[in-house]
Homo-oligomer: A and B are copies of this chain.
């Protein structure tokens, strides 16, 4: 049973007839082009195929199912060639993208269309690449969704609005397929919310068969078409907790803001200046040109760079409160908040154990000889281990972030190349630059999705 609120929300998120008509027409033209080639069979997958897409969703995923006797190499080659032919015939300019193997993406009548070659296999057990699985997912959902299409729309919209929708690396949240399975498994949106409010890390949901191996992710949802796969593998512990909290909040006091959150307030440099002054901390941003690769490639490297820069600061004696990073179309940013932008000149440096004769002698010789003039105190021993107090290389966090030390940390290949072209160091309110206003605002006012819902309507 849907509540009046849920019915109201549905009226707002169900695609319009016009939208449905347009999407279906575009899909039909593409399928026709694929089928008429005689090389592969076209199949609409994803939320469009399952009738579970929410209003305004502009994604259309179409697979080209090739015969399984094709070699992998031929699949890639023929798949791309056919996709180019199809898009060209429809007058669209396509560009290549990469998942497990290459596929084409193009914009057709305002829709974001992916045209993906895969193998036509008989069952989930014969899957040869990750995309081969998608048609099985579509078939499973279509066969089991019954009357729950509206429930899926509600759950997706609930997850989108709560910031936990999307199995990409940046979000680490719920995929559309996961939403569909949850609705099928529990039997409708209200029951998903009820059940999820009591989830704990390690919760296992076997939609059909039990899993056929051990899983270690926080939430385990066994794929009904492949018992060796956890559909919720991409869901992070943090995002799972956000969702559990949202479900609890919704059960306590359901309101429209859980589905359609009010627009967050804007932010200005003056506001950030005030916030930083109140917090008594120092904010630093490292900004550089986004590498020309897709999110799936760049984001993991950006996350790695963020972690490496955080340890660079720690290693140099600065104390972090938080760090985050954001990939944008043109530029990317690593944002770091420090307890203070300055570190004391003196630094305690640990040497070898006194009992390690050879290293102990080298250590003493160094700090009593050539480096003696720079020593503040020591060498002395603490519980048998040498300590010497020497000057710190960087007492200002901004100088550290502008130094070549940055190129010495683990960045990932594409970020390293981007940084070779230079980077900018911004401090405090300077971090508010076009394209990153929301990111900086959300960083400083970081709150859980539920807290935002509660605060947003107060």
Report which A residues bind B (CB closer than 8 A).
198-201, 218, 236-238, 240-242, 244-245, 248, 278-281, 317, 319, 321, 339-340, 342-346, 348, 354-355, 357, 360-361, 364, 368, 376-384, 389, 395, 444-448, 450-451, 454-455
CB pair B319 A381 closer than 8 Å: no
* Chain B residues near A240 (CB-CB < 8 A): 384
CB pair A446 B339 closer than 8 Å: no
Report the Cα distance A354→B355, complex, angstroms. 48
* Chain B residues near A218 (CB-CB < 8 A): 384
Nearest CB of chain B from residue A197's CB, rounded to whole Å = 8
CB pair B280 A381 closer than 8 Å: no
CB pair A344 B321 closer than 8 Å: yes
* Chain B residues near A446 (CB-CB < 8 A): 377-378, 380, 389
Nearest CB of chain B from residue A120's CB, rounded to whole Å = 41
Knowing A241-B354, A321-B346, the reply to whether A377 touches B201 (Cβ < 8 A) is no
CB pair B244 A355 closer than 8 Å: yes
CB pair B368 A279 closer than 8 Å: no
Knowing A340-B340, A354-B244, A355-B244, the reply to whether A451 touches B345 (Cβ < 8 A) is no
Knowing A340-B340, A344-B339, the reply to whether A448 touches B378 (Cβ < 8 A) is yes
CB pair A345 B279 closer than 8 Å: yes
Knowing A238-B382, A384-B201, the reply to whether A280 touches B344 (Cβ < 8 A) is yes
Report the Cα distance A368→B454, complex, angstroms. 8
Report the Cα distance A448→B387, complex, angstroms. 10
* Chain B residues near A345 (CB-CB < 8 A): 278-280
CB pair A451 B368 closer than 8 Å: yes
* Chain B residues near A200 (CB-CB < 8 A): 355
Contact of A242 among B279, B381, B445, B447 (CB under 8 A): B381
* Chain B residues near A361 (CB-CB < 8 A): 248
CB pair B377 A444 closer than 8 Å: yes
Contact of A380 among B354, B383, B448 (CB under 8 A): B448
Report the Cα distance A321→B378, complex, angstroms. 13
Report the Cα distance A438→B208, complex, angstroms. 77
Contact of A201 among B343, B355, B450, B454 (CB under 8 A): B355
CB pair B379 A451 closer than 8 Å: yes
Apart from A241-B384, A245-B354, A281-B344, what 6 extra A-B contacts exist at CB < 8 Å? A238-B383, A279-B376, A280-B342, A364-B450, A364-B451, A389-B446
Nearest CB of chain B from residue A285's CB, rounded to whole Å = 18
* Residue among A200, A241, A376 facing the most chain B CB atoms (10 A cut-off): A241
Report the Cα distance A230→B257, complex, angstroms. 72
CB pair B384 A238 closer than 8 Å: yes
CB pair A241 B381 closer than 8 Å: yes
Report the Cα distance A377→B278, complex, angstroms. 12
Nearest CB of chain B from residue A307's CB, rounded to whole Å = 14
Report the Cα distance A375→B218, complex, angstroms. 29
Would you mind naming 11 contact pairs between A and B with Cβ atoms under 8 Å apart? A198-B357, A236-B383, A278-B345, A279-B344, A279-B389, A281-B344, A319-B319, A339-B343, A340-B342, A340-B344, A377-B447
Report the Cα distance A92→B360, complex, angstroms. 52
CB pair A447 B339 closer than 8 Å: no
Report the Cα distance A218→B306, complex, angstroms. 43
Q: Which residue of B lies closest to A387 (CB)?
A: B446
7 pairs of A and B residues whose beta carbons are closest in the complex: A280-B345, A280-B344, A241-B354, A279-B346, A241-B381, A380-B448, A241-B384
Report the Cα distance A377→B395, complex, angstroms. 28
Report the Cα distance A364→B380, complex, angstroms. 49
Q: Which residue of B lies closest to A197 (CB)?
A: B357
* Chain B residues near A245 (CB-CB < 8 A): 354, 360, 381
CB pair B340 A383 closer than 8 Å: no
* Residue among A237, A248, A280, A281 facing the most chain B CB atoms (10 A cut-off): A280
Report the Cα distance A248→B344, complex, angstroms. 34
Report the Cα distance A358→B332, complex, angstroms. 40
CB pair B244 A378 closer than 8 Å: no
